[in-house]
Structure 1
Amino acid sequence: MSDPRVEAVEEAGRKAEQRLAGYQNMKEEMAQLRAAASSPDRAVTVVAGPGGSILNVEFRPEAMRLSPQALGRSVMTTLQLAVAQSARQSAEIVQRFTGDQIDIAARVNKVQEEIFGPAPELPPPPPPQANGSFLQQARSQHPQHPPQAPPRMQPPPPPPAPRPQRPGPPPRVDDDDEGFGSILR
């Protein structure tokens, strides 16, 4: 017959190992997390990673037609959407591994609604352009306007002219004071 205390300790050890393996899986899923959001006009796309870190900001040609202020607002709004989506995805991952004791996803959504308002419907990110023809890919990577020559390098400015030196003290002349020093000092 086995001791119930030993069995309880062994069972607790097995559960701890299972939790540890689950947390390792959760950590790996979190490292792979990517949340993309695009502006309504699709001029700006932002990809956020774990913890809301910004992994990529992409501008399409439409972005260059916006005023600096409108582009700034579009970037900030799209950044917020991507970061919020990253937080929701993180909460869902944590929820799967921690169980139903606490509804983490609902809490994150509630806080986001309090801060940002209701979550807007996000358009899907633009599809990758890998399936287009070679010509389509080349045109998307190289705009139609002719390339500009790189700016010419300016020669470095000449070194400044040396500053005139002040004359130093006159050289000391040893006189025959027999080691007692000059009486003029």
Structure 2
Amino acid sequence: MSAELDRLVAEFEKFQSRIKQAEASFAKVGDMQDEVTALEATAMSPDRAVTVVAGAGGSVKDIRLTEAALKQQPQQLATTLLSTLHRAVADAALKQAGIVDAHVGAAFGVDVSGQVLEAQAEAMGTTADELKSNASEAQPAPRRLSDDDLEHGDILRHDEPPAAPPPPPPAKPADDGVRRLWNHEED
């Protein structure tokens, strides 16, 4: 009977240890919420005429149109705007998933980013690998200078404000010890 009691006490202590580890992980939820609130994803149309900035939860924070966008036919502009909007929102969803993964993904053994990629791939009729490879190609190449630009001395474009550099990611406290402890306990 004593051996059974010792085993039960050990199991209870192990359970309490996991609860403390979970509480420590959830203590950082406020930091995660702040990062999610601040996240932004910017997408630009291939012709650079439309720029959309999306935030967490699919919110649209900004839409910028150049003079070239306003010269497009209404249906063409609507199509460009909608496809750019979709890309910005999809990028924001992926960034949001990455934040969740960084804070609690390992603790719960989930890959939210992978799940979001799979869902997006299914919705778009493609594969997650193809989406990953296309992500780096999604932004248009820098505009090349034309002879007109050089001839008129107008090398800088004045119809688009310069893009602000993305903010540096917030410093993240090291929680590898907690992850190692958590993973070790499960073995």
TM-score (norm 1): 0.60
State the one-letter code of the partner of 1:97: H
> Gaps (5+ residues) in structure 2?
1-8, 143-154, 161-187
What is the aligned-residue identity percentage? 34
Mapping 1:98-113, distance limit 5 Å: 98-100=104-106, 101-113=109-121
Please report how far the alpha carbon of residue 16 of structure 1 lies from its aligned counterpart in structure 2 after TM superposition: 4.0
State the one-letter code of the partner of 2:113: A
1:18 to 24, 30, 54: 24
Mapping 1:8-157, distance limit 5 Å: 11-12=17-18, 14-100=20-106, 101-116=109-124, 117=126, 118-119=130-131, 120=134, 121-123=137-139, 140=159
Residue 169 of structure 2 is matched in structure 1 by none
> Gaps (5+ residues) in structure 1?
127-135, 142-185
Please report how far the alpha carbon of residue 13 of structure 1 lies from its aligned counterpart in structure 2 after TM superposition: 5.7
- Bigger CA drift: 24-33 or 5-14? 5-14
1:9 and 1:106 map into 2 onto residues whose CA distance is: 29
Please report how far the alpha carbon of residue 6 of structure 1 lies from its aligned counterpart in structure 2 after TM superposition: 8.8
Tell me the matched-pair count.
131
2:14 and 2:55 map into 1 onto residues whose CA distance is: 40
2:115 and 2:14 map into 1 onto residues whose CA distance is: 34
Please report how far the alpha carbon of residue 103 of structure 1 lies from its aligned counterpart in structure 2 after TM superposition: 1.7
- Bigger CA drift: 91-100 or 70-79? 91-100
- Compared CA separation, residues 114 and 9, structure 1 to 2 (3 A): closer
Please report how far the alpha carbon of residue 10 of structure 1 lies from its aligned counterpart in structure 2 after TM superposition: 6.4
Query: What secondary structure sits across from 1:42 in the alignment?
Result: coil
1:90 and 1:125 map into 2 onto residues whose CA distance is: 26
Please report how far the alpha carbon of residue 17 of structure 1 lies from its aligned counterpart in structure 2 after TM superposition: 3.6
- Compared CA separation, residues 25 and 125, structure 1 to 2 (3 A): farther
Please report how far the alpha carbon of residue 65 of structure 1 lies from its aligned counterpart in structure 2 after TM superposition: 1.4
1:87 and 1:76 map into 2 onto residues whose CA distance is: 16
State the one-letter code of the partner of 1:53: S
Whether contact under 8 Å (1:45, 1:125) holds in the other structure is no
Whether contact under 8 Å (1:37, 1:46) holds in the other structure is yes
Structure 1 or 2, whichever has the larger Rg, is 1
